[in-house]
Amino acid sequence: MYHDFNYETALASSLRAQWQLDDVLGANQELDFSRNFMPESLARTAAIESLNPFEQRILNQISAHQYLTIFGIVEEFILPFLVDHARPALRGDDYRIRALLNFATEEAKHIHLFKRFHDAFVRGFPVPCWTIGPSEAIGVKVLSHDPLAVGLVILMIEWMTQQHYLGSIRDDGDLDPLFKSLMKHHWMEEAQHAKLDTLIVDALAEGRSEFEIDQAIDDVFEIATFLDEGFKMQAGLNLDALEQAIGRTVDRDSILPQQHQAARWTYLGSGMVHERFEATLKAMSPRAARRIAEAAPIFA
Ligand SMILES: [Fe+2]
Ligand SMILES: [Fe+2]
């Protein structure tokens, strides 16, 4: 076995790590708009030379708004996926069903937390920021694929949140402490989700032929391409908000592809290259691992 994860230990660790919404952000608490919200390793806004430092910070905050809405979107397909997966397990192993239901409860809490941060953002930011959606339609589209492919995409997302927190503590003393705390608390619970999702993916892959796994990887690429089109659209919407907030037009031809690439890394690439995600792929099929590794540089 390539890991030692099990439902009993993951459940026990989850229950120990649990927090409440108010531990992270009170309903009326305000964000500090004089600071960046996103680590530079994800937002890549300080690298844009055609923007002055104030404008870079505004775009960094818009990038954080994107983070809140993209995670809102992905959590909304993670939740029904988990509920569907838990339903047939109701009468099985007690630790398994409790771990799966607890996983679902935590994701519902994360949706709530991201909404609370979103409300605080809207209260403090000078212009409206538009987002792709509706999230329900995006969720339906993602969930129309092979469950193994959806499970793999979710596993990628769970591992990427580990990477995001590590990135945010590593490179930024200047971040808004509440956003930093959001990353930290999400990281704390996602650490167990990643283990549980590994077990879910193992179960979904069991007994599949090489051909069937190959088809699931095709579906992973379809989902990634679909999401990536959304990220490109979102990069355009982000620049609309930036121009409105700073009262001038910007060099969209250079900034849009650069910000699209930042989103590719944040929401796909940073999970694709995670060693634990690679380990799951390799155990399932070395060919699947190779196909994902070959595509990863597009999302770097
Ligand atoms: Fe989550
Ligand atoms: Fe999660």
Supply the pLDDT for residue 163: 86
Q: How far is CA 220 from CA 127, 149, 278, in A?
A: 36, 5, 14
pLDDT digits (tens, 9 = 90+) for 65-108: 999 999 999 988 999 999 999 999 898 899 999 999 999 999 99
Supply the pLDDT for residue 174: 83
Give the distance (Å) from ligand 1 centre to CA of residue 103. Answer: 9
pLDDT grade, residue 4 (50/70/90)?
A: very high
Rounded-to-integer distance, Cα 49 and Cα 42, Å:
17
Give the distance (Å) from ligand 2 centre to CA of residue 261. Answer: 23
Supply the pLDDT for residue 76: 85
DSSP helix/strand/coil, 80 = helix
Give the distance (Å) from ligand 1 centre to CA of residue 252. Answer: 32
Supply the pTM of this predicted model.
0.96
Ligand nearest to the CA of 197: 2
Cis peptide bond N-terminal to 134, omega within 30: yes
Rounded-to-integer distance, Cα 160 and Cα 269, Å:
8
pLDDT grade, residue 182 (50/70/90)?
A: very high
Give the distance (Å) from ligand 1 centre to CA of residue 1. Answer: 26
- 299 burial class (0-12, 13-18, 19+ CB within 10 angstroms)? buried
Give the distance (Å) from ligand 1 centre to CA of residue 148. Answer: 19
Rounded-to-integer distance, Cα 118 and Cα 56, Å:
20
Give the distance (Å) from ligand 2 centre to CA of residue 107. Answer: 6
| Residue corresponding to tokens 């793999």 | 152
Give the distance (Å) from ligand 2 centre to CA of residue 190. Answer: 5
Comparing CA positions, the residue from 54, 46, 252, 277 lying closest to residue 157 is 277
Mean pLDDT, rounded, for 154-178: 85
The 3 state secondary structure assigned to 83-117 is: HHHHHHHCCCCHHHHHHHHHHHHHHHHHHHHHHHH
Is the predicted pLDDT of residue 56 greater than 90, yes or no?
yes
Q: Which residues pair with residue 175 across a beta bridge?
A: 36
Question: Is the CB of residue 33 less than 8 Å from the CB of residue 4?
Answer: no
Structure token pair of residue 247 = 């009262």
Give the distance (Å) from ligand 1 centre to CA of residue 290. Answer: 27
Query: Residues 6 or more apart from 101 whose CB is under 8 A from it?
Result: 86
Ligand nearest to the CA of 158: 2
Give the distance (Å) from ligand 1 centre to CA of residue 14. Answer: 13
Supply the pLDDT for residue 222: 98
Question: Is the CB of residue 287 less than 8 Å from the CB of residue 256?
Answer: no
Percent of the chain beyond pLDDT 90? 92
Is the predicted pLDDT of residue 170 greater than 70, yes or no?
no
Give the distance (Å) from ligand 2 centre to CA of residue 193. Answer: 5
Rounded-to-integer distance, Cα 106 and Cα 34, Å:
31
Report the phi/psi class of residue 299: left, alpha or beta, with left for phi > 0 and alpha for psi in -120 to 50: alpha
Mean of pLDDT over the chain: 95
